[in-house]
Amino acid sequence: MTTLVLPVICLGTCNFSATLTAQTVAVSRTTASEVHSTISHEADARIDKALELAGANRSEIARFLANYEKSGDAQKFDAARWLVANMDGHGFARIELCDKDNKQLGFDALAYANLGEAQARLDEIGKSHPDADFRKISFESDLEHASADFLIAHLEGAFDAWRSLPWAKSISYEAFREHILPYRGSNEPLDLWRAPAQKRLETLVTELRASGEKDVRVIGERVRSTVHPWVAFSDLYYVHPTDQSYTEMTEDKRGRCEDITNMVSFGMRSVATMCASDYTPWWAASDNNHAWEVVLDEQGRGRAGLAGRAAKVYRKTFAHQESSLGAIKQEKETVPRWLSGTHYIDVTAEYQPVSAVTVRLEKPPEGQRFAYLAVFNGGAWRPIHWGHIVDAPGIGTNVAFSALGRNICYLPMYHIDGVDVPASAPFILDADGISHTLKASEAADVTLVASTTKPDIQDPDTGRIKARTMVKPDAAYELFVWKDGGWKSIGRREQGEETRVFESLAPDGLYWLVEDGSRKLERIFTVEAGGQVFW
C-alpha cells in the first residue's frame, strides 16, 4: 500500500451452459436458505452481471458455479455464489511510471540497489517529464481471467482448513466467507497459494493441535508472528507499487507494507485463521500511506494500534459494498482514486475517538454531488473521505463528514474532471472534537521565529524516528499562507540572512515554510505563542 509520493510527477472442458438456468437460480435460493445465507435477490442480479462481465471467460465462471450446484454441498454452493457475486472489481492491476499521456517511461525500481539510487533516477525523469506519476496501465479482471479449476482449488482448500482444524470450529460461516474464503489479498496476480503456505506451516499446525488451544485470536497471533518474517520490509518497494503474488514474494522475500499484509493473510487463511487488511490512504501528519494486518476473533472482529496520525482507516473487503462511493457514483462522474473502490468499509471509529463535522461550502460547480476532505501529504492535499452535498434552505450549501480522526488539519475539496479543487477554508479538528477554521483573516499581529520545517516523525513501516528538519543558515526559505483557495507567498529569508523571523502573521493562518530546491515535503503548521504547531 505504501507508495512514495513523487512531487515532480501509489483444467478441463466446459459442458455447462454459459447461461444460468431458472432451475439453477431456484436451487441456489433453496440451498442458501438451508445454510442461513445472506445472499439476497440483489446478489442474484450481481451473479447475472458477473457472468455478463466475464465475456469470453463466462463458461469458466459458469462451470465453477455448476460444479457446486451438482456437489450436494449446500454451503459450498452458497460460498461459490457469494464469490462470483462479489468478484466484479477484483483483479490484477499493473502500475508503471508513465507520462501524462500514460506512456511508460521504462522505470524499474528493482534495477537499483536501494531507494536512494531509485529516487535519484526518478528525479532525473521528473526534469524532462514533470507530470510523470505511477499510473495503472492494465487491469486483468478476475471475472475475465480466473479459471474454474483455480476457483475450485481455492474454495476446496478454504473449506478443508475450516472444517478440519480444531480452532476453526467456532468461526462463523459469515466470518469464514469474508476472511478465509477469498483467493486474493489486494490487486496482486492470481496465484494458488493455499497449499504451499499450509505446507510451510505444517510444523506450527502440529504444535497448535497438540496444545489444545481453541481461542481463534491466540492461534491467529501465533500464525501471524510465524508468517510475518516471510517477507522483509524494503523501502525500495515504495517505488514498486504493483502488488506481488505469493510466488513473487516467496522468491524475492522483500516488499512494502501491502505485500507483507497480503502474505500474512495468505498464511493465516491457509490454516483457517483470520486477519483483516486495514489501511489509511494518506497519513494526516506525515507523508505516504500504510497498510497493516489485524488478527480477528471468531466473529471477524478486531483492531490494531496506529503507527501514525490517521484521519481515516479503511478495511478491505472481498464483499461488494453497496454504500461505497464507487458503487453509488454515476458512470460519468470522476472521483478521487483512493475512494473509487467498491470493496472497503470505514473502521476509523474502531481505532480512535472521532467526530462528525458539517462544512459550509462555496457554491459547487453544476452537477457536483460529492465533496471531499483532504489531508496534507507529500506536498499536496490528498482526499481521504467524502460526503453528499446538500442545499439546505436558509443555511446554504453544506456537506456532512462522518467519523473523522481528531487533532488533524483538513481541507474540503471538490473533484472536477480529475482535478482536486478547494471547496472551503481548511480547518483544524482538535483533540476535543472542536473545529477551528483557518482563514488567515484576523488581525495580522503574530510573530514567528522559524526553526523547523518538519518535526520528528515516526516511520510507520520501521518504527524508527525520523529526526526533525531544522532551518539552516545556508539555505533560502519562502513562507506561504493558505488564503483564498491556495498558497500565497508572504515572505522570504535568503541564504546567509541571520534572521529567521516573520512578522505580521494572522493568528488564524495555516503556514508552510519551504526550502528553495527542496522536494516540498515540509509540513504545514499553525503559529501558537510564537512557535510552530505542525499538522
Mean pLDDT of the region 517-528: 96
Mean pLDDT of the region 361-369: 89
The C-alpha cell 482526499 sits at 383
Q: Is residue 192 part of a domain?
A: yes
- The domain tally of the chain equals 3
Whether 527 contacts 520, CB under 8 Å? no
- Considering 387, 414, 435, which residue would you say is the last residue of a domain? 435
Q: Is residue 3 part of a domain?
A: no
The per-residue DSSP string of 52-83 comes to: HHTGGGHHHHHHHHHHHHTTS-HHHHHHHHHH
Give the per-residue pLDDT at 5.
41
Looking at the chain, the number of H-run helices and the number of E-run strands are 14, 27
Could you tell me if 169 and 29 lie in one domain? yes
Closest among 290, 282, 288, 291 to 264, alpha carbons compared:
291
At residue 26, does pLDDT exceed 80? Answer: no
Could you tell me if 56 and 178 lie in one domain? yes
Could you tell me if 86 and 30 lie in one domain? yes
Mean pLDDT of the region 480-499: 93
**CA 325 to CA 336: how far, in whole Å?**
10
Give the per-residue pLDDT at 40.
61
Q: Is residue 347 part of a domain?
A: no
Closest among 461, 450, 115, 83 to 259, alpha carbons compared:
461
At residue 67, does pLDDT exceed 70? Answer: yes
Task: Please state the length of the chain.
Answer: 535
**CA 382 to CA 535: how far, in whole Å?**
14
Closest among 517, 336, 507 to 428, alpha carbons compared:
507
- Considering 296, 316, 336, which residue would you say is the last residue of a domain? 316
Could you tell me if 269 and 381 lie in one domain? no
- Which tens digits make up the pLDDT trace of 273-330? 999 999 999 999 999 999 999 999 999 999 899 999 999 999 999 999 999 999 999 9
Q: Is residue 329 part of a domain?
A: no
At residue 36, does pLDDT exceed 70? Answer: no
Whether 76 contacts 164, CB under 8 Å? no
Give the per-residue pLDDT at 16.
28
* Cα–Cα distance list, 296 to 277, 457, 520 (Å): 10, 29, 39
**Residue at 525: amino acid letter:** F
Could you tell me if 409 and 452 lie in one domain? no
Could you tell me if 379 and 459 lie in one domain? no
Could you tell me if 215 and 76 lie in one domain? yes
**CA 249 to CA 110: how far, in whole Å?**
13
- Considering 378, 408, 435, which residue would you say is the last residue of a domain? 435
Contacts of 315 (CB under 8 A, 6+ apart): 276, 277, 278, 279, 294, 344, 345, 346, 347
Which structural domain, as residue segments, surrounds residue 397?
352-435
Contacts of 89 (CB under 8 A, 6+ apart): 320, 326, 341, 342, 343
**CA 454 to CA 169: how far, in whole Å?**
51
**CA 425 to CA 506: how far, in whole Å?**
14
Contacts of 231 (CB under 8 A, 6+ apart): 249, 253, 254, 255, 259, 260, 263
Give the per-residue pLDDT at 139.
97
Could you tell me if 158 and 242 lie in one domain? yes
Give the per-residue pLDDT at 35.
43
Give the per-residue pLDDT at 43.
81
The secondary element (H helix, E strand) that includes residue 371 is strand 370-377
Q: Cβ-count burial of 264 within 10 angstroms (0-12 exposed, 13-18 middle, 19+ buried)?
A: buried
pLDDT classification of 363: cutoffs 50, 70, 90: confident
Question: Picking from 152-156, 261-265, 361-365, 367-371, which range would have the lowest pLDDT averaged per residue?
Answer: 361-365
Half-sphere exposure of 302 (CA within 13 A, CB side): 23
Closest among 495, 534, 532 to 515, alpha carbons compared:
495
The secondary element (H helix, E strand) that includes residue 25 is helix 22-34
At residue 38, does pLDDT exceed 50? Answer: no
pLDDT classification of 496: cutoffs 50, 70, 90: confident
**CA 299 to CA 280: how far, in whole Å?**
23
Report the CATH number at residue 410: 2.60.40
Contacts of 99 (CB under 8 A, 6+ apart): 105, 129, 131, 132
pLDDT classification of 265: cutoffs 50, 70, 90: very high
Mean pLDDT of the region 93-113: 96
At residue 13, does pLDDT exceed 50? Answer: no
Give the per-residue pLDDT at 8.
31
Give the per-residue pLDDT at 20.
34
Give the per-residue pLDDT at 65.
98
Q: What share of the chain in percent tops pLDDT 70?
A: 93
Contacts of 191 (CB under 8 A, 6+ apart): 245, 246, 247
Q: What share of the chain in percent tops pLDDT 90?
A: 84
Could you tell me if 273 and 214 lie in one domain? yes
Could you tell me if 423 and 500 lie in one domain? no
At residue 147, does pLDDT exceed 90? Answer: yes
pLDDT classification of 88: cutoffs 50, 70, 90: very high
At residue 22, does pLDDT exceed 70? Answer: no
More confident residue, 216 or 25: 216
Residue 50 DSSP SS3: helix
Could you tell me if 87 and 174 lie in one domain? yes
Could you tell me if 374 and 226 lie in one domain? no
Work out the mean pLDDT of the chain and round it to a whole number: 91
Mean pLDDT of the region 225-239: 96
Phi, psi of 532, deg, nearest 5 = -90, 130
Q: Is residue 402 part of a domain?
A: yes
Q: Is residue 332 part of a domain?
A: no
* Cα–Cα distance list, 85 to 44, 54, 185, 227, 319 (Å): 7, 12, 17, 30, 8
Q: Is residue 102 part of a domain?
A: no
Q: Is residue 115 part of a domain?
A: no
At residue 146, does pLDDT exceed 80? Answer: yes
Give the per-residue pLDDT at 498.
80
